[in-house]
């Protein structure tokens, strides 16, 4: 089950409000809050594409980068047992825990990219 839309290089979250009988979402991975909505799937998809195009145009007009910048570091919370096992495996492989986690994330990205 996919609860997101893709258009160009952008991903939009998808939610449903039963009370209003409407779909809504926002463009993910950008610095700004850009939302879209629709009362049907077709309307939601069109609204998302229009929001992306409007956002790209707005950024171009203001000389702003369209993508969120990432530092390359983030905090990951895992169970103490998984932490221990990951650290032990990293030691046995002769790499740091950071290198071990990076390889695991890269492996998952490659695996998932093949499925999409």
Which tens digits make up the pLDDT trace of 60-100? 999 999 988 888 998 999 999 999 999 999 999 999 999 99
Residue 71 domain-assigned? no
Count of domains in the chain? 2
Residue 28 domain-assigned? yes
Residue 69 domain-assigned? no
Residue 68 domain-assigned? no
pLDDT at 34: 96
Q: Residue 5 above 70 pLDDT?
A: yes
Residue 8 domain-assigned? yes
pLDDT at 27: 97
The whole-model pTM stands at: 0.74
Residue 54 domain-assigned? yes
Whether residue 54 sits in one domain with residue 25: yes
Whether residue 86 sits in one domain with residue 52: no
pLDDT at 116: 62
Whether residue 51 sits in one domain with residue 24: yes
* DSSP letters for the chain: ---EEEETTEEEE-EEETTTTEEEEEEESSSS--EEEESSHHHHHHHHHHHHHHHHHHHHHHT--SS----S-------HHHHHHHHHHHHHHTS-HHHHHHHHHHHHHHHHHHH-
Q: Residue 112 above 60 pLDDT?
A: yes
Name the residue range of residue 110's domain: 80-115
Whether residue 39 sits in one domain with residue 13: yes
pLDDT tens figures, 12-59: 999 999 999 999 999 999 999 999 999 999 999 999 999 999 999 999
């Amino acid at each position: 089950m996919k609860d997101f839309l893709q258009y160009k290089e952008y991903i939009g979250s998808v939610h449903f409000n039963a009370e209003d009988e409407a779909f809504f979402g926002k463009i993910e991975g950008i610095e700004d809050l850009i939302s879209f909505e629709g009362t049907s799937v077709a309307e939601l998809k069109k609204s998302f594409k229009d929001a992306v195009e409007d956002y790209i145009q707005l950024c171009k007009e203001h000389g702003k980068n369209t993508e969120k910048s990432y530092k390359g570091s983030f905090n990951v919370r895992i169970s103490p047992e998984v932490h221990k096992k990951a650290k032990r495996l990293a030691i046995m492989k002769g790499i740091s825990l950071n290198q071990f986690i990076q390889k695991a994330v890269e492996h998952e990205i490659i695996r998932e990219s093949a499925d999409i």
